[in-house]
Amino acid sequence: MAEGIAYQNKDIEFKILSEAYRERSFEAYGLKLPRIREVRPTDLPAVSANEMRMDNLFLLEDGTYALVDYESADKEQDRIKYMNYIARVVQKLYREEGRVPYIRMIVVYTGDVERAAAQFRTGCITLQMEQVFVSRIPAEEIYQGVRHKVERGEALTEQETMQLIILPLAGKGLEDKQKRIRQVIGLAKQMSDEREQKFVFSGLLVVTDKFISREDAEEIRRELTMTKVGRLIFEEGLAEGERRGEKRGEKRGEEREKKRQRIIAVANMLDLDIPEQKILEKYSQEELKAAKEALEQKI
Segment 201-256, tens digit of pLDDT: 888 888 888 889 989 988 888 777 665 555 555 555 545 554 455 554 555 666 77
**Looking at the structure, do residues 257 and 136 belong to the same domain, yes or no?**
no
What does the alpha-carbon distance between residue 60 and residue 38 come to, in Å, rounded to a whole number?
7
Say whether 14 sits in a helix, a strand or coil.
Answer: helix
Model confidence, pTM: 0.73
Q: How many residues does the chain have?
A: 299
Containing domain of residue 261, as a range? 228-298
**Looking at the structure, do residues 172 and 286 belong to the same domain, yes or no?**
no
**Looking at the structure, do residues 189 and 166 belong to the same domain, yes or no?**
yes
| Per-residue CA distances from 94 to 69, 86, 101, 150 (Å) | 22, 12, 7, 44
**Looking at the structure, do residues 197 and 259 belong to the same domain, yes or no?**
no
What does the alpha-carbon distance between residue 74 and residue 127 come to, in Å, rounded to a whole number?
15
| Per-residue CA distances from 276 to 244, 285, 287 (Å) | 33, 10, 11
Summarised one tens digit per residue, pLDDT across range 131-159 is 999 999 999 999 999 999 999 989 999 99
**Looking at the structure, do residues 205 and 232 belong to the same domain, yes or no?**
no
- pLDDT tier, 115 (very low <50, low <70, confident <90, very high otherwise): very high
| Ramachandran angles phi, psi of 68, nearest 5° | -120, 130
**Looking at the structure, do residues 233 and 217 belong to the same domain, yes or no?**
no
**Looking at the structure, do residues 47 and 107 belong to the same domain, yes or no?**
yes
**Looking at the structure, do residues 152 and 197 belong to the same domain, yes or no?**
yes
- pLDDT tier, 275 (very low <50, low <70, confident <90, very high otherwise): confident
What's the number of domains the chain is made of?
Answer: 2
Question: Looking at residue 18, what is its pLDDT?
Answer: 74
In a domain, 105, yes or no: yes
**Looking at the structure, do residues 106 and 241 belong to the same domain, yes or no?**
no
